């Protein structure tokens, strides 16, 4: 039945960067569908609000290896099992090519590429424990359409990091399939998020006009993709990078 095919109730998920933007969309969308949701973030006030909304909120700094290890330990103290890991936390940086600082590569690649790998590595035992051939554990990487095409913005380290996330997704998928763990990526286009806030404030009409489907992504667009990937419906898919972008990267 269709209801059973997309049923994810009773699962447990960790979402990094879950206090705002796309991470918060995913967190609240999964919670509404009966998933026990743990989120990780850095801002105390946002974590308090998430806790008040019924989410399990943990403070974390994923910019260092020790921070990734500590988050994994803290999560496993809060939950008995882990079925879903959404590696969403990320950073960006923009500067003209002549002035782009070397430090911007360290900051962005450490958080966008190294952290998802280290956190995945630390949580593999928990993900593997709950996984079965009929219902694999699921890892979702949040990439970007800017890792699929060249954007107008001078965000060199960001685009490089997201292209790396897409390839890391494929690489991990190949090695974790035998453990009954799927690894897929979502490459979002324009959504209401912290990273897009300034650009949407300045150029929303232009961005919508440049999107084949004519609008900015809505929370349900993102939640729908995640529900598919984490439910029985998506149980036979791994190593895929799915653009959720209104057709920008696929038709233009």
Q: Give the confidence band of 200 by pLDDT, cuts at 50, 70, 90.
A: confident
Is it the case that residue 207 has pLDDT exceeding 80?
A: yes
pLDDT class of 7 with cuts at 50, 70, 90? very high
Mean pLDDT for the chain?
Answer: 95
CATH 3.10.20.30 fits 2-243, yes or no: no
Rounded mean pLDDT of 198-202? 80
In this structure, the number of other CB atoms found within 10 A of the CB of residue 23 comes to 25
For residue 47, give every residue at least 6 positions away whose Cβ sits within 8 Å of its Cβ, in sequence order, or none.
19, 39, 41, 57, 58, 59
Rg of the chain (C-alpha set)? 17
Query: From start to end of the chain, where are the E strands?
Result: 12-16, 36-41, 56-59, 84-87, 137-142, 181-188, 241-244
User: What single string gives the DSSP state of each residue in 101-117?
Assistant: -HHHHHHHHIIIIIHHH
Q: Which residues contact 124 (CB under 8 A, 6 or more apart)?
A: 176, 179, 181
Give residue-wise pLDDT tens across range 107-132.
Answer: 999 999 999 999 999 999 999 998 99
Distance between start and end Cα atoms, the chain: 36
Q: pLDDT at position 122, please?
A: 98
CA distance 165 to 167: 5
pTM score, whole prediction: 0.96
Residues forming the active site: 158
Residue 18: partners with Cβ closer than 8 Å, 6 or more residues away: 24, 26, 27, 37, 39, 40, 41, 50, 55, 57, 86, 88
Model confidence at 240, pLDDT cuts 50, 70, 90, reads very high
Query: Where are the chain's structural domains?
Result: 2-243
């Amino acid at each position: 039945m269709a209801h059973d095919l997309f049923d994810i109730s009773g699962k447990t998920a960790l979402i990094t960067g879950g206090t705002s933007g796309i991470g918060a969309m995913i967190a609240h969308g999964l919670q509404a569908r009966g998933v026990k949701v743990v989120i990780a973030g850095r801002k105390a006030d946002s974590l308090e609000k998430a806790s008040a909304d019924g989410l399990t909120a943990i403070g974390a700094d994923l910019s260092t290896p020790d921070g990734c290890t500590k988050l994994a330990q803290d999560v496993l103290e809060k939950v008995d099992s882990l079925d879903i890991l959404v590696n969403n936390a990320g950073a960006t940086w923009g500067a003209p090519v002549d002035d782009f600082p070397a430090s911007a590569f360290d900051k962005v690649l450490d958080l966008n590429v190294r952290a998802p790998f280290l956190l995945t590595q630390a949580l593999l035992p928990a993900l593997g424990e709950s996984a079965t051939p009929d219902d694999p554990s699921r890892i979702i990487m949040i990439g970007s359409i800017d890792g699929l095409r060249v954007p107008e913005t001078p965000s060199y380290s960001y685009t490089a990091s997201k292209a790396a996330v897409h390839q890391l997704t494929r690489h991990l998928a190949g090695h974790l399939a035998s453990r009954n763990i799927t690894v897929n990526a979502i490459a979002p286009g324009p959504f209401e998020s912290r990273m897009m806030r300034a650009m949407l404030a300045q150029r929303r009409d232009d961005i919508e006009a440049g999107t084949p489907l004519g609008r900015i992504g809505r929370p349900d667009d993102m939640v729908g993709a995640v529900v598919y990937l984490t439910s029985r419906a998506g149980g036979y898919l791994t190593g895929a990078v799915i653009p959720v972008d209104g057709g920008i990267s696929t038709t233009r």
